[in-house]
Structure 1
């Protein structure tokens, strides 16, 4: 994600991660919730499936919240219920970059086993690839508006005041590290790396985005106990720049011998497989 400049934003609805680019069309239905049966996913996927079939595609709703074309996932959906109103939104992979989808979304292996799929790439598809007659994304969007709303479609635009309110909400909430990562559930992690200065293992406990416990192990040549470093890191946000600021204030050679600050950070924030060619 960092290597390709892909931003991460947490959403209020449930479900797994979604990859967005300019080839991915997103839609939302907002309406009164009504009775329990009106909350069913099928109520909202049905018109989208019908619209895709109108283009000659073999579309169907599948599982809890997917829409498939010829067995390939082209849409995922999610919902949120609040104050008697329901937001149902979904993706439509029209002409998205499949290399980026496969590289950015690394689901748990058991998910693939349960779906008899080998990878993200083998499971998802682009709507454009299934069309008998090619069209671009703006044409697809124009078609959908007619297919979903018929003669009842009404266009509109936000006022400058509303747009500014959107921008304020974006800056104050959705752009913040606290919103996107600080609400993560408590977790423990362990990373181990081998450097010229010795092996280094980091064990970290995190709650609400902050370090609640940390320990360093290995055969590096420490000259003093690491207890004081662990104490200094407790309560610090578990993100690279915050940990780096603490390390910069410490006599790292006394703690880690010939292992450098960058190598300590690489150990802490190392992601298994991040250097593998996941898109190949």
Structure 2
């Protein structure tokens, strides 16, 4: 990262506002490097390609008045409370060939190591301490700008994490709450010298920004854009729950690159509607791909020809073209 890093805080614990704030920064600040630190209170944040109702424990969510919001990045569902601290890096894409997750995970891993923790990057998008997950990350590309964000479990409530989320049996051996808790850890429990959230926040801000820290604020115009985006997108049922089309064909496969679940409505051999659910690490919205597939004959070669028009890594992460087709046309 360059020496100068603009630092922003949302000043809110409202998840709908915070995601609108982050997207506004991504859209309006077209140069320079930015660091955001922020918190959501009592929230499930689902990935852009996930089926909300399939990810949440509806009865638990309603009983505990948990917010549910969809983000614009891929990956899986996560639970946020005030024991979490979220971070966002926004920067230029630069040389796309050199755009690796290590570029962004390394500063977080090194910051945790600076506290004496045995931290390491793992798998597609996790950061572990002593083998337990303390951070999940995701990313997005938008017109030459790159968003990389994640959550740090500092002192989160594991009972809420396990109760709020439905556990995919394809990902975990057991559906029990115990199996979820065994996978995650809180940073605070690993510290040799205790610190509270304000101290951790201050440490992370200083460590990630370093001597190049520039305290920044959004303009009145940008703040108005945040409010408008919150109202028209993030705080709507249509965005968070209403992205589930009718379908008459549904398959689900788990690949190294994540879970992929295409749901397709086929009428007279033609794709009328299609959606791809899953926790794969997309960096671009799926709308262009699904829009191009509508009206396509439901044949492997025709669907493959449409997929060939797109840089599939942007939309499906490391899930390959043939794996996408194998999932759509899978016969058990």
Normalising by the residue count of structure 1, what TM-score does the alignment of the two structures yield? 0.64
Q: Is the 1:112–1:118 Cα contact (8 Å) retained in structure 2?
A: no
Q: Report the more deviating stretch, 19-28 or 32-41.
A: 32-41
Aligned to 2:238: 178
Aligned to 2:229: 169
- Give SS of 1:67's match: strand
- Between Structure 1 and Structure 2, whose CA radius of gyration is higher? 1
Structure 1: where are the runs of 5+ without partners? 190-204, 213-280
Aligned to 2:14: none
- Give SS of 2:172's match: helix
Measured after TM superposition, the shift of residue 185 of structure 1 is 4.9
Measured after TM superposition, the shift of residue 187 of structure 1 is 5.0
Cα–Cα, structure 1 residues 187 and 10, in superposed 2: closer, same or farther, change >3 Å?
A: farther
Cα–Cα, structure 1 residues 36 and 118, in superposed 2: closer, same or farther, change >3 Å?
A: farther
Measured after TM superposition, the shift of residue 176 of structure 1 is 0.6
Q: Is the 1:65–1:77 Cα contact (8 Å) retained in structure 2?
A: yes
Deviation digits for residues 174-208 of structure 1 (CA, Å, limit 9, x no counterpart): 1111111111354579xxxxxxxxxxxxxxx998x
Deviation digits for residues 131-174 of structure 1 (CA, Å, limit 9, x no counterpart): 01111111111111221121111112223332222111101111
Cα–Cα, structure 1 residues 105 and 145, in superposed 2: closer, same or farther, change >3 Å?
A: same
Cα–Cα, structure 1 residues 106 and 159, in superposed 2: closer, same or farther, change >3 Å?
A: same
Aligned to 1:39: 99
Mapped to 2, the partners of 1:129 and 1:79 lie a distance apart of: 28
Aligned to 2:110: 50
Deviation digits for residues 74-129 of structure 1 (CA, Å, limit 9, x no counterpart): 00000111111110000001111111001112221121139xx9621110111011
Aligned residue pairs, count:
191
Mapped to 1, the partners of 2:97 and 2:119 lie a distance apart of: 23
Structure 2 residue corresponding to 1:100, chosen from 156, 160, 163? 160
Structure 1 residue corresponding to 2:124, chosen from 64, 86, 96? 64
Aligned to 1:132: 192
Measured after TM superposition, the shift of residue 61 of structure 1 is 0.1
Runs of 4+ in structure 1 over 4 Å off = 185-189
Mapped to 2, the partners of 1:187 and 1:151 lie a distance apart of: 54
Query: Relative contact order (C-alpha < 8 Å, sep 6+): which is higher?
Result: 2
Q: Report the more deviating stretch, 167-176 or 55-64.
A: 167-176
Mapped to 2, the partners of 1:176 and 1:150 lie a distance apart of: 38
In angstroms, what is the RMSD of aligned CA positions? 2.4
- Give SS of 1:149's match: helix
Aligned to 1:225: none
Measured after TM superposition, the shift of residue 35 of structure 1 is 2.1
Normalising by the residue count of structure 2, what TM-score does the alignment of the two structures yield? 0.54
Mapped to 1, the partners of 2:62 and 2:264 lie a distance apart of: 21
Measured after TM superposition, the shift of residue 43 of structure 1 is 1.1
Structure 2 residue corresponding to 1:17, chosen from 74, 77, 81? 77
